[in-house]
Amino acid sequence: MSAETAEPNSMAPVRILVYSDDAHTREQVRLALGERPHPSMPTIDYVEVATAPIVVDKLDAGGIDLAILDGEASPAGGMGVAKQLKDEIVDCPPILVLTGRPDDAWLASWSRAEASAPQPIDPMELSSTVIALLRRQLSR
């Protein structure tokens, strides 16, 4: 059964890891996506992370459906962390990198992230990108 035809309430929640050293950025992602970004999608369980080593540990342990990484995080930016994850984690889930500006999207592609979204966060743009990534991930 695909994510588009399944009954939303019968689907297990998706787990989205949100990495930023800034609690406000993590909150903005949660507020933009909400509990369920689309009626046909399952609910979201957020895993908030403030340091790069914990990001690696969480993804290495498995059970994450999508990672959203702050490209402006310090001391380890999300683009470098994304590249590391893609190099080191077998079956790494899709990654979305939040960039400092729209022109930085090419850096996100260098990091091998599947998508990017500029900051400040546009809830409509972030939601549509996350929905597309999750649909692909859930149909695998």
Residues 79-111: pLDDT tens digits? 999 999 999 999 999 999 999 877 777 877 889
With a threshold of 0.85, does the pTM exceed it?
yes
Q: What is the spatial distance between Cα 82 and Cα 94, in angstroms, rounded to a whole number?
A: 10
What pLDDT does residue 107 have?
79
Residue of 128, 51, 52, 136 whose CA lies nearest to 93: 136
What pLDDT does residue 9 have?
55
- 8-138: what CATH class? alpha beta
What pLDDT does residue 10 have?
65
Amino acid (one-letter) located at 118:
P
Residues of the chain with pLDDT under 70: 1-10
Residue of 110, 133, 106 whose CA lies nearest to 118: 106
Residue of 35, 18, 14, 36 whose CA lies nearest to 27: 18
In the chain, where the domains are located? 8-138
Edge-to-edge strands, sheet with 95-99: 44-49, 14-19, 66-70, 95-99, 115-118
